[in-house]
Amino acid sequence: MPQSGAHLILAIDTALDDCSAAVFDARANLVLGKRTERIGRGHAERLPAVIDAALAEASSEFSDIAMIAVTIGPGSFTGVRVGVAAARGYALALAIPAIGVTTLEVMAEAVRRDTPVLAVHDAKRGEVYALLMGADGEILKAPEALDPAALVDFAGAAGERLVLAGSASGIAADLFGIERTATADPTSQIDVAVVARLVAEGRSQQPVKPLYLRNADAKPPSRHFNLFAEPT
């Protein structure tokens, strides 16, 4: 039986290696259906089937969905564009709102307990993407692309102790020292359920627009990959 959709969120993540979707009941704070495939590339081809699988597990249909949540980056330029285009398209077709969530916010929230979290992802070319989240979930420093040496100043508002998350956690740990840091998750895997929860709690209100933080490393992908529309 389909779920009552006034409180169901469809969350989408294609920003990094995973192609993920989840159906989240905001009223019950419960994941009803979830599908994640670690594919690295080819997100546009797999995303419709991944979404269908999450909806089927939730015994839901598109008409039950009240809101779209999507990761907007930073991450893979192509992957971010795929997710943003899909979220915009579904929101337009279903006449429902769509809200963006940064990848770094999801990484930090997934490991946050009672200590500030520094989410750091390897941005290549000698840089990292970083975000600082307080112990209460407040964003102390919004996402930036930084030289790793700038992380100490970036995290200055956090106090003496830090939890690290993300693929550049090792770089950060070397800078801050073992006495000040603990690494909760040395990967940059995105939990799409956390994407939905941040939106359900009203803690993320980002526009559904790619957050790149710097220029692309290569020629932008063709518009033909888009599921619905070209993000700008």
Domain boundaries, the chain: 5-102+190-225, 104-185
CATH for the stretch 104-185: 3.30.420.40
pLDDT computed for residue 50 by the predictor: 98
Look at residue 196 and give its three-state secondary structure. Answer: helix
The radius of gyration computed from the CA coordinates of the chain, to the nearest angstrom, equals 17
**Closest to 173 in 3D by CA, of 165, 185, 184, 181:** 181
3-state helix, strand, coil in the chain (%, to 5): 35, 30, 40
pLDDT computed for residue 178 by the predictor: 62
**Closest to 116 in 3D by CA, of 100, 94, 92, 140:** 140
**Closest to 150 in 3D by CA, of 134, 133, 130, 124:** 130
Instruction: Confirm whether 5-102+190-225 and 104-185 share one CATH topology.
Output: yes
CA distance 45 to 27: 32
Q: Is the pLDDT of residue 183 over 60?
A: yes
Q: Is the pLDDT of residue 11 over 60?
A: yes
Q: Is the pLDDT of residue 203 over 70?
A: yes
Distances 82 to 2, 32, 63, 187 between C-alpha atoms, Å: 27, 24, 22, 22
Cis peptide before 207 (omega within 30 of 0): no
Distance of alpha carbon 213 from its chain centroid, rounded?
15
Q: pLDDT (tens digit, 9 = 90+) per residue, 140-171?
A: 999 999 999 999 999 986 767 899 999 999 99
pLDDT-based confidence at residue 226 (cuts at 50, 70, 90) = very low
DSSP-derived secondary structure for 20-52: EEEEEETTTTEEEEEEEEE-SS-HHHHHHHHHH
Backbone angles phi, psi at 124, to 5 degrees: 65, 175
Q: Is the domain covering 5-102+190-225 a CATH 3.30.420.40 domain?
A: yes
pLDDT computed for residue 2 by the predictor: 39
